Amino acid sequence: MEKARARPTVAVVGAGAVGSFFAAHLIAAGSADVTVCVRTPFEELVVESELSGESQRFSPRLLTEPGQVAATAGGPVDWLLLATKAHQTAGAAGWLAALAGPATRVVVLQNGVEHEARVRPWLAHAETEIVPAVVYCGAEVVGPGHIVHRSNGFLIVPAGRTGAALAALYQDSPAGIHLTEDFTSAVWQKLCANVVANGITALTERRVAVMRRPDVSAVGRALVGECLAVARAEGAAIDDGYVDLLLGAVVGMPDGAGTSMLYDRLAHRPMEQDALYGAVVRVGQRHDIATPLHAAFLALLAAIGDEGAVGSGGGTPA
């Protein structure tokens, strides 16, 4: 992470499914000097693709404690990809303090629509740029540093100089960076996609095939309806046809496909219900839009944490 190096320096904080995917492909592209910041160390970063049938292996530079940044004379990096779950942001505060300087661009690879509000309190410098990202990456962690990639593999970020610079880092990589002039619509479309099945699969502990039940699909449709009303109040341009398109895509997913919230539930990890269902409730309240179904899912998913097997937030990067 020495600033004298010609290549830009990039730190990926969190090596879950999303962080591992985008870290691995950035290493493969060779366009940046990449460091992966993790809680649990591993010897190899393995990306097993169900799309190509291939398995790629990498040996990234790993750090396991924020204190190691100063010890290795790393200093602030040019780019920081924050790939923890939304509820783990506070747990990544040490990494943000050690790695983010005034000129650092922090790309937030998290679900939800509150990227700026969630991350800004943990940055020491007001000049640090936050780049919100919509993540489309169907992958599952099957072991430390080992993921199975099943679908998609790209980010949507606001168009502009920073977005173009991020795209340049990945230009020789299968991981795509898509630029949009209408980020509001893009981020709310993704939130609609998140709420339709994440909570249902987590509560039922079943994979996405459960959405093929007509009664369950009807619940998903109602969730999207509430989310869509709030999205439009926020200025998102999403037409009615998106609901059928989304439900059709979810129902048509392979039998083994799951959701990030299901994977967290099965692994007894904290879930991100607040960033998804809670966000719809909060923004709906600002616009005086009732979201009773989201409120119910928020309460039920939060109650799972009361069991003791699953925590209720915080944590550190995977």
User: Which of 31-45, 46-60, 133-147, 180-194 shows the highest mean pLDDT?
Assistant: 180-194
Mean pLDDT of the region 161-170: 96
Higher pLDDT, 130 or 315: 130
Q: How confident is the model at residue 73, as a pLDDT?
A: 52
Of the pLDDT bands very low, low, confident and very high (cuts 50, 70, 90), residue 140 is: confident
For the chain, the average pLDDT equals: 92
Look at strands 134-143 and 61-63 and give their pairing.
unpaired
Please tell me whether residues 201 and 166 are part of one structural domain: no
What is the share, in percent, of the chain residues with pLDDT greater than 90?
81
Q: Is residue 128 part of a domain?
A: yes
How far is it, in rounded angstroms, from Cα 48 to Cα 141?
10
Calculate mean pLDDT across residues 212-240.
97
Shared domain check, 193 and 157: no
Place of tokens 């290493």: 27
Residue 172 reports pLDDT greater than 90: no
Report, as an integer, the average pLDDT of 175-179.
95
pLDDT above 80 (res 42): yes
Q: 242 and 149 in one domain?
A: no
- What is the rounded CA–CA span in Å between residue 150 and residue 170? 20
Instruction: Indicate if 75 and 118 belong to the same structural domain.
Output: yes
Q: Is the pLDDT of residue 1 over 50?
A: no
What is the rounded CA–CA span in Å between residue 165 and residue 162?
5
The rounded distance, in Å, linking the Cα atoms of 11 and 17 is 16
pLDDT tens track for 63-101 = 999 999 987 757 799 999 999 999 999 999 999 999 999
Q: Within this chain, do residues 109 and 171 fall inside the same structural domain, yes or no?
A: yes
CATH code at position 121: 3.40.50.720
Residues in a beta bridge with 80 = 11, 106
Domain that holds residue 192: 184-307
Query: What's the domain count of the chain?
Result: 2
Angle between helices 214-233 and 183-204 (to 10 degrees): 150
Query: What pLDDT sits at residue 312?
Result: 37
Average pLDDT of span 129-147? 94
- For helices 241-251 and 214-233, angle between their N-to-C axes, nearest 10 degrees: 140
Shared domain for 17 and 101, answered yes or no, is: yes
Please indicate, yes or no, whether residues 159 and 44 belong to a single structural domain of this protein: yes
Supply the pLDDT for residue 307: 62
In a domain, 39, yes or no: yes
φ, ψ dihedrals at 42, nearest 5°: -150, 160
Select from 181, 214, 233 the last residue of a domain.
Answer: 181
Residues 250 and 198 in one domain: yes
Q: How confident is the model at residue 236 (pLDDT cuts 50, 70, 90)?
A: very high
Residues labelled as active-site residues: 190
Same domain, 41 and 75: yes
Mean pLDDT of 268-288: 97
In terms of domains, do 169 and 289 share one?
no
Q: Which of 139, 166, 181 is the last residue of a domain?
A: 181
Domain boundary among 140, 156, 181: 181
